[in-house]
């Protein structure tokens, strides 16, 4: 079933403990999350034969909670993409329409859930990679607050932006999986215990928050995240928001002027971090090694020429450029300034509203092959998701309806460690 969609790169099982909150659940794991003894390719030729010696903290927590890992899912190479077409293992198809992409970069994870091949799937979200495929495939995806979930065992793309998050067919199941993977980890110094964070709700029993109760909730609707979106997407999302109003929520128009710069800032920061993170794939420490009788520089170059795909190379080159001595202030520093501005805009907005609602993706799922030759167009599709990563906030994408059978996702963003608020609001969208 999931085979016809190419959702999995490797179908191997890790049995879970006999009981626990996720007993009998089948979990699919994105192939950039380490699984002991099972190859973890990151969708790259470079790591096609890499078998990790240990499992990521999130994988251990899931199996200890009773879940069984059923396989490793297809993804854009190293998480770099919005369609799952940059994978070295071929594209994944969208179960809602096999001629269209499932979104990315966690497209295999969302497709596995949408096709019924998994109850829960893990993705990683650096700039939207859990929410985008959830939206395109018509399922639920949660991107946690930065620091809520351990990144130990996640192969890094851009450390300061990314979090592992759950994908499931409904909000409650995704929330239950989040509770299992959330919480501090001594192996990841950036994790935080929400109960030790000032003003944060320390209780991480998220499934109970999926009660559909939005009575009294204030929803901010930022004009900037609707401008330029496909009309049919806007209509579908507006109807879902209007429905929340009939359930007792109030809406108020807000403005986030900085988000106009979010995609640019995101790509400079993400590529810069990627250029540094991917330096380790040199054929000596990690990865495919080219047969070369040349010197180390030649061997390094040949290894990376053969091991990386075009999109990864583009990003390593641009990231290296943005970090170089002469251009650092012009690009990297400017991007960090924009990031601070985005963070501040959201903080100010959350003084007046409980959640912020928008389309998850401003477009409907692309047809296969449609966006591959046009990287800029692909990057711009991340307009609504990347601001959330820049600001390290939690967000959910929940199905809002469809346009001629193509799913449309509604994004709900909350304040730091406000997971329960976005889960509650998302569960109300499901009820309508
Ligand atoms: N599409 C974005 C990118 O290509 C987001 C990817 C992600 O979240 N891993 O960088």
The answer to whether 46 and 308 have CB atoms below 8 angstroms apart is: yes
Question: Is residue 105 annotated as part of the catalytic site, yes or no?
Answer: yes
Q: Which of 34, 87, 106, 129 is catalytic?
A: 129
What is the helix (H) or strand (E) element at residue 169, kind and residue range? none
Yes or no: say if 163 and 143 are a contact pair by the CB < 8 Å rule: yes
**Alpha carbon distance 152, 187 (integer Å):** 6
Nearest to 411 by CA among 339, 358, 374, 353: 358
34: left (phi over 0), alpha (psi -120 to 50) or beta: beta
pLDDT by 10s per residue, the chain, length 432: 566 999 999 999 999 999 999 999 999 999 999 999 999 999 999 999 999 999 999 999 999 999 999 999 999 999 999 999 999 999 999 999 999 999 999 999 999 999 999 999 999 999 999 999 999 999 999 999 999 999 999 999 999 999 999 999 999 999 999 999 999 999 999 999 999 998 888 999 999 999 999 999 999 999 999 999 999 999 999 999 999 999 999 999 999 999 999 999 999 999 999 999 999 998 888 777 777 777 888 888 999 999 999 999 999 999 999 999 999 999 999 999 999 999 999 999 999 999 999 999 999 999 999 988 888 889 999 999 999 999 999 999 999 999 999 999 999 999 999 999 999 999 999 987
**How far lies 386's CA from each of 258, 271, 276, in Å?**
12, 13, 20
CATH architecture of 9-259+339-431: Alpha-Beta Complex (3.90)
| Phi, then psi, of 317 in degrees rounded to 5 | -65, -50
The tokens describing 20, both together, are 């626990």
User: What residue segments make up the domains of the chain, in order of their start?
Assistant: 9-259+339-431
- Burial code of 118-139, b = ≥16 C-beta within 10 A, e = fewer? bbbbbbbbbbbbbbbbbbbbbb
Mutate to test the pocket of ligand 1, among 136, 270, 381 (most ligand atoms within 8 A of CB): 270
Ligand 1 contacts CB of residue 382 (under 6 A): yes
82 lines ligand 1 (CB under 6 A): yes
Distance 174 CA to ligand 1 centre (A): 21
| Ligand 1 mean position, distance from CA 82 (Å) | 6
| 45 neighbors 309 (Cβ within 8 angstroms) | yes
């Amino acid at each position: 079933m999931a085979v016809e969609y190419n959702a999995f790169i490797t179908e191997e099982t890790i049995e879970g403990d006999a009981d626990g909150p996720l007993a009998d659940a089948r979990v699919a794991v994105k192939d950039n999350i380490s699984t002991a003894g099972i190859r973890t390719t990151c969708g790259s030729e470079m790591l096609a034969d890499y078998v990790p010696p240990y499992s990521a903290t999130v994988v251990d927590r899931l199996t200890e909670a009773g879940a069984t890992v059923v396989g490793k899912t297809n993804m854009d190479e190293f998480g770099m993409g919005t369609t799952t077409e940059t994978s070295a293992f071929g594209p994944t198809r969208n179960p809602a329409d096999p001629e269209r992409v499932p979104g990315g970069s966690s497209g295999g994870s969302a497709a596995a859930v949408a096709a019924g091949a998994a109850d829960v799937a893990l993705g990683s979200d650096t700039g939207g990679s859990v929410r985008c495929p959830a939206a395109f495939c018509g399922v639920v995806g949660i991107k946690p607050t930065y620091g809520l979930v351990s990144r130990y065992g996640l192969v890094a793309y851009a450390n300061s932006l990314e979090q592992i998050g759950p994908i499931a067919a409904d909000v409650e199941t995704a929330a239950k999986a989040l509770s299992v993977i959330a919480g501090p980890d001594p192996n990841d110094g950036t994790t935080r215990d929400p109960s030790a964070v000032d003003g944060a709700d320390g209780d991480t029993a998220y499934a109970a928050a999926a009660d559909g109760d939005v009575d009294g909730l204030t929803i901010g609707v930022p004009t900037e995240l609707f401008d330029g979106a496909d009309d049919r997407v806007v209509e579908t999302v507006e109807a879902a928001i209007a429905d929340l109003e009939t359930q007792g929520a109030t809406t108020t128009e807000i403005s986030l002027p900085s988000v106009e710069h979010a995609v640019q800032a995101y790509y400079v920061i993400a590529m810069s971090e990627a250029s540094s993170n991917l330096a380790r794939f040199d054929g000596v420490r990690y990865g495919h090694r080219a047969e070369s009788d040349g010197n180390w520089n030649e061997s390094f170059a040949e290894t990376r020429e053969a091991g990386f795909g075009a999109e990864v190379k583009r990003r390593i080159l641009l990231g290296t450029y943005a970090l170089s001595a002469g251009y650092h202030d012009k690009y990297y520093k400017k991007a960090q300034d924009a990031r601070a501005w985005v963070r501040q805009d959201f903080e100010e907005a959350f003084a007046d509203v409980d959640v912020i609602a928008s389309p998850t993706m401003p477009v409907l799922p692309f047809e296969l092959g449609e966006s591959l030759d046009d990287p800029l167009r692909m990057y711009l599709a991340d307009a609504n998701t990347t601001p959330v990563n820049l600001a390290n906030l939690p967000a959910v994408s929940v199905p809002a309806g469809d346009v001629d059978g193509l799913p449309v996702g509604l994004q709900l963003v909350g304040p730091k460690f406000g997971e329960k608020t976005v889960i509650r609001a998302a569960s109300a969208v499901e009820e309508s």
